Structure 1
Amino acid sequence: MRVHFIAIGGSAMHNLAIALHKKGFEVTGSDDVLFEPSASRLGKYGIKPTADGWYPEKITTELDAVILGMHARVDNPELLKAQELGIKIYSYPDYIYEQSKNKKRVVIGGSHGKTTITSMILHTLQQAGQKFDYLVGAQLEGFETMVGLTEEAPVIVIEGDEYLASPIDRRPKFHIYKPHVAVISGIAWDHINVFPTFDNYVDQFRIFAETIEPGGALIYSQTDAVLDSMVNSSNITAEKLPYDLPLYKIDNGVTTIINGSDEYQLKVFGQHNLLNIEAARLVCKSLGIEAAEFYKHISTFKGAARRLEVVGSTSTATIFKDFAHSPSKLTATIQAVRTQFPERRLIACIELHTFSSLNKDFLSEYSGTMDAADDAIVFIHNKTFEQKKMTPYAPEVVKTAFNNEKLRFFDDPEKLLTYLQALNLENANLLMMSSGNFGGIDLITLKNNLL
């Protein structure tokens, strides 16, 4: 098979390209700019484009398929050439489905927790010695790539994003996979540039649940009132398997799950992670792994990258980095650290970086989300509005939206860094949350200065 990737440098795209290359496909690709680690990883496998830019001459009738990334525009010259020649064009979720039509498909959806639940399932299956294919949204310990595709694996575990499939396919990605087993971890409004109302956003999850194959199952968190209402008021024909918090205890900063007479100490913490574990347990049960074996394996799970990842720690302080950016993720992450270390001061810093989080009309969704922190910091890089072609607003707008009198606001990374470097972390935790990079602040250097 010969496939060509338009916008090969994307996170999911370059991982899919590597997976197909390893499967024996002839892979080519293009992108207007390649960043790390995509460039080096593509180079390692000999499929890195020789030059940046778009080259319509790469598109010929000898190609079996073109895979189109979300980063490409509808007037991309390579896309136009492929359309002119009548070559089959796929989005990457389309092609994942194409490669897994004869497998049992497990799809993990939800506004939060998707990556972690998927990672927990993959960790457990790997520890149990099962064969599986996968698509996950983070680099995991023990996995070279974020996509794995083989001929022999009977099952594929897919992180199912609700964002759009491609510039010419406006379906949410998770509407494409047709799962046999589906998970919805929770519903909290996001991607408002695509889903302009909350009801419209919720509807995408109902449609996802309705795509479950006949005889399939829907695993969902009954602790989420919106999700619980949606599931029980919809005409979903799949078997409904609700989950809740397991029995657990916290002692000296360590969380332990209690299952009958057995106890399992965890390397992760927070109620959101305990719920994630229960979702993963039910999926693994559907794949033949019972509770005792599951809990044994999950007790060695260290977490996904940038999900309450420890940057550095001492006996009295820890610096975490986390991918949290939406209101629900922000609340859950802060509450997790607060509950796990109740005796320590908590300094929480979030960078507003996504289109939704920066939208002035959406900001009020953040009201009260940082109240559990002792010190609350919001950072918006002063160049971000310009880069995203959005109208900037005053710091007072942010402070009013968060409804937090303790909140500090920074729009200059140098000033933020100066403030952070002056912190006293004796008996304190620092939680840095962003889907960006805080204007280039090096968290390792910050850790070395503070701890």
Structure 2
Amino acid sequence: MNIHFIAVGGSAMHNLALALYQKGYKITGSDDAIFEPSKSRLEAKGLMPKDFGWFEEKITTNLDAIILGMHAKADNPELLKAQELGLTIYSYPEFLYEQSKDKTRVVIGGSHGKTTITSMILHVFKYLNIPVDFMVGAQLEGFETMVHLTSENEFMVLEGDEYLSSPIDRRPKFHLYKPNIALISGIAWDHINVFPTYQNYVEQFLIFANSLTNGGIMVYNEEDAEVKNVVEQATSSIKKYPYSTPNYAIENGTTFIETSLGEMPLEFFGAHNLQNMAGAKWICQHMGVDEDEFYEAISSFKGASKRLEKIAENETTVIFKDFAHSPSKVEATTNAVKNQYSDRTVLACLELHTYSSLNADFLKEYKGTLNKADKAVVFYSPEALEIKRMEKISVDQIQNAFEREDLIVYTNPTEFKEFLFSQKFENTALLLMSSGNYGGLDFNKFKELV
């Protein structure tokens, strides 16, 4: 097949391009900018566009399909030409469904935890040497790409994102997969630029629950009241399997759980991650993995990329970076670090970087999320607000929203970096939470500090 990608440089899009190239498809693509690591990875396979920009002449009747990325606009010249020629145009999730419609589709959804749960499942199957097709939202250790597609594998494991499918398809991605087996990990309002009310956001998960195939299996976090309510409301004919946080203990900075194999130490920590593990266990069992095999495999799981990723450590200091940015993720991550390192000073730094987190009306959702930290810092860039054409927010608004009188707020990246590198890190757990980089922070420099 000849397939052309409009906006090939995105994290998800370039991984799909690489997966299809590996499958033997002929791939072309366009984008107006491509950054690392997408650039090097596309270049290595000869898939990097010769020039940046959009070129109508690339769109011909010789193409079997167009895959349209979210980065493109509805008036993209290549898209308009494809529509004019009547070519088959897929969104990213539509195409993944086409590739997996004859497989058993396993879809992991939720406002938080879905990348980690998907990563845990894939880790278990890799450890047990059982091949599966997959799409996951982070680069995993030991996996070449975030997408893997074959003709022969029985299962397709998909991370089910609730964000929009494409510029011309405003449905959430996870509505298009029609799972045979699904999971919902948690529901906490996010993407307010697309889902303006909490109820509108929750409704997307009910649609997802009702999208399972007849007789499908729904695994769900019963400790999340909203998830439980959604699953109970689902009218589709599905089997329901609840899970909850398993019993655990922390000894000398290591988390232990009780298993069928006895007490077992884990490489990861945090109540939310143990909860994620419980969900992953149910999914793996429904995919044919027995309990003993699961525990043996999960004992070596270190965590998903950018999720409580340890970037430096010595005898008295540990430094983590984490993708957390939504209120529920910030609170869970901060609490996990404090619980794990209760005898250390926890310095939690959060960058408000996304559209939702920089919205003045949404800020109140962050109330109390940093309370477990001994010292808390929030960084945001007024320039980011200008670029996103959003209403200005003040330092006072930030402090009032978090309801923490000693909260330190920075808006200048240089001043934030000076503060950070002037700290004494002995007996400290430093937590850096952001989907950005604090205006140019070099995370590698922390390795020189410890």
TM bin, normalised by shorter chain, reads over 0.9
Matching residue of 1:313: 313
2:339 aligned with 1:374, yes or no? no
2:123 aligned with 1:123, yes or no? yes
**1:232-252 deviations in Å (ceiling 9; x for gaps):** 233242111000111221111
Q: Is contact 2:106–2:179 with CA below 8 Å preserved after alignment?
A: yes
Matching residue of 2:403: 403
Shift of 1:260: 4.1
Matching residue of 1:30: 30
Aligned AA (1:163): Y
Q: 1:262-273, aligned counterparts within 5 Å?
A: 262-273=262-273
Matching residue of 1:155: 155
Matching residue of 1:223: 223
Q: Is contact 1:247–1:259 with CA below 8 Å preserved after alignment?
A: no
**1:180-234 deviations in Å (ceiling 9; x for gaps):** 0001000000000000111110010010010111111100000101111222233
Q: Is contact 2:209–2:234 with CA below 8 Å preserved after alignment?
A: no
Shift of 1:312: 0.1
Q: 1:132-147, aligned counterparts within 5 Å?
A: 132-147=132-147
Three-state SS of the structure 1 residue aligned to 2:356 is helix
- TM-score w.r.t. structure 2 length? 0.99
**C-alpha separation between the residues in 1 aligned to 2:105 and 2:169?**
21
Where do 5+ consecutive residues of structure 2 fail to align? none
Q: Is contact 1:371–1:404 with CA below 8 Å preserved after alignment?
A: yes
Question: What count of residue pairs does the alignment treat as equivalent?
Answer: 450
Three-state SS of the structure 2 residue aligned to 1:258 is strand
Three-state SS of the structure 2 residue aligned to 1:346 is strand
Where do 5+ consecutive residues of structure 1 fail to align? none
Matching residue of 1:383: 383
**1:250-281 deviations in Å (ceiling 9; x for gaps):** 11111111024612211000000001101110
**1:365-411 deviations in Å (ceiling 9; x for gaps):** 00111010011100002321122121222110111111111100001
Matching residue of 1:196: 196
Shift of 1:444: 1.3
Aligned AA (1:157): V
Please tell me the root mean square deviation across aligned C-alpha atoms, in Å.
0.9
Matching residue of 1:207: 207
Matching residue of 1:252: 252
Q: Is contact 1:318–1:429 with CA below 8 Å preserved after alignment?
A: yes
**C-alpha separation between the residues in 2 aligned to 1:260 and 1:391?**
54
Q: Is contact 2:311–2:446 with CA below 8 Å preserved after alignment?
A: no
Label 1:447 to 1:408 Cα distance change in 2 as closer, same or farther (>3 A).
Answer: farther
Q: Is contact 2:214–2:236 with CA below 8 Å preserved after alignment?
A: no
Shift of 1:327: 0.2
Three-state SS of the structure 2 residue aligned to 1:27 is strand
Matching residue of 1:438: 438
**C-alpha separation between the residues in 2 aligned to 1:58 and 1:232?**
49
Q: 1:350-369, aligned counterparts within 5 Å?
A: 350-369=350-369
Q: Is contact 2:261–2:292 with CA below 8 Å preserved after alignment?
A: no
2:418 aligned with 1:418, yes or no? yes
Q: 1:61-100, aligned counterparts within 5 Å?
A: 61-100=61-100
List structure 1 runs of 4+ shifted beyond 6 angstroms.
Answer: none
Aligned AA (2:74): V
**C-alpha separation between the residues in 2 aligned to 1:281 and 1:264?**
15
Three-state SS of the structure 1 residue aligned to 2:145 is coil
Aligned AA (1:90): Y
2:44 aligned with 1:44, yes or no? yes
Q: Is contact 1:182–1:218 with CA below 8 Å preserved after alignment?
A: yes
Q: Is contact 1:32–1:54 with CA below 8 Å preserved after alignment?
A: yes
**C-alpha separation between the residues in 2 aligned to 1:202 and 1:94?**
22
Matching residue of 1:322: 322
Aligned AA (2:332): A
Q: Is contact 1:245–1:274 with CA below 8 Å preserved after alignment?
A: yes
Three-state SS of the structure 1 residue aligned to 2:357 is helix
**C-alpha separation between the residues in 2 aligned to 1:50 and 1:234?**
49
Matching residue of 2:11: 11
Shift of 1:166: 0.2
Q: Is contact 1:264–1:296 with CA below 8 Å preserved after alignment?
A: no
**1:55-101 deviations in Å (ceiling 9; x for gaps):** 01000000000000000000000000000000000001100001001
**C-alpha separation between the residues in 2 aligned to 1:394 and 1:271?**
33
- TM-score w.r.t. structure 1 length? 0.99
Three-state SS of the structure 2 residue aligned to 1:435 is coil
Three-state SS of the structure 2 residue aligned to 1:288 is coil
